[in-house]
Amino acid sequence: MDRPAEPDVTEAQETVLDLMTTEAGRAAAVLAAALGCGLLIGIERERRKGSGPGRAFAGVRTFSLTSVLGAAGALSGQVALLAIGAAFVAGLGLMAYWRDRSDDPGVTTEIALLLTYVIGALAAWHMPIAAGLAVGMTGLLAARARLHQLARQWLSPGEVRDGIVLAALVLMALPLVPDRPLWGNVLNPHVILQLLALLLAVQSLAHFCRRLLEARQAVAFSALASGFVSSTATIATLGLAVREQRADARLMAAGGLFSCVSTQLQLLLVASAVRPEWLRVLWLPALGAAVLAAAWGWWLLRTDGEAPADGVVSSPRIEGFPSSGTDRMFSLQGAAAVAALLAGIQALVHGMELWLGRGGLIAGTLLAALADLHSALAAAFLSAGPQAGGTAVLAVVLALLVHAGSKSLTAGLVGGWRYLAWLAPGLWVHSLLAAAGIWWLAGR
């Protein structure tokens, strides 16, 4: 009689060994990552710890061990053990704060220690997120002096108030507003509020650019910041300086072209807020036109002409765009008026399209482009997608060209023929490039 076959245990043993090796390797990687995160944060805290009896309670070793403790608790899989560790670290922080007798105790180190424990536990779930959080927290801790100076000295009370308003608008109001059009595909409250937030954010950025760059007497960047509100108004203001012989025509034409860069960039911002599918045909032509306008403007800027007396191009004084002498980042009333204008023009163009069809859309868009390019294009974006040969694409292309004509007429009337001669070539070449690129990409 044959003897029964011996059970083959070698393969099962190898499988268990491989599993144990994999788990052990992962655990070692998690612990190493947690140790690295704790060391990174701890080194920064050690430099702030001080020495002597008044030194802070936690340094490089405490933070490293705390992070490893969190990782070990997470690897154990015991939720109770993880909670006990968190309670222990929080208790240490409370005790240290209670025993602190310094004039400015603060709780930064105590909170950082508890967050370090959380980072260690997080490393067992997703190491890249834990590492990114550790780096971000270390940078925040290291920037203590700069952040205090920013909050107490650099930011003005008006800028802080405007920042709170903008944050409340984006984080509280925007998610609560209904996202559905009230008439056809226009008058969407969510889109209108999104445009308002976009206008306020751009104005805030322009405000800080002017605060930083006016001290450097940067003609180009001052015009770039002004162009985010109105490139046409910027070109008119620069032309007025030429007419009054306060500035060189070539230098002011360079500033006008830099304001056109803002027009192209804001075109992408409006499209992303109104109808993102247009970005497929807009991003390359708009960026290409912006680069061309910037390069042409930079070439004009490198001249021997005289700069303005103060070296700075004044921002156009228009509603919704605060002057450099104020501490407000934006005018909420002015931005709301601009957003209402955008919505009104969109409704007008939509009504003309319903009344006159294809011709009404084109006519309404071109009329709107004479006053404001972005509102005209927003209406065209909402009417239809970027289909090849579509009415909306034709309206967008024609609006770009009509707006270039409007800027040229403004430059000639306000600044004179010399100003127009320096500005017009770059203005029309970059506008034609954008229009041709949009038409070509829409047809692909």
Q: How far apart are CA 163 and CA 235, in angstroms?
A: 29
> What backbone phi and psi angles, to 5 degrees, belong to 108?
-60, -50
DSSP state of 170: I
pLDDT tens for residues 220-262? 776 777 677 677 767 877 787 788 776 778 888 888 899 899 8
CA distance 383 to 346: 9
Q: What is the pLDDT of residue 307?
A: 45
The percentage of residues in the chain with a pLDDT greater than 90, rounded to a whole number, is 16
CA 77 vs CA 20, 27, 70, 74, 361: distances in Å: 16, 12, 11, 6, 63
Domains of the chain by residue range: 10-150, 157-442
* Tens of pLDDT, residues 204-229: 766 676 666 543 345 677 677 767 76
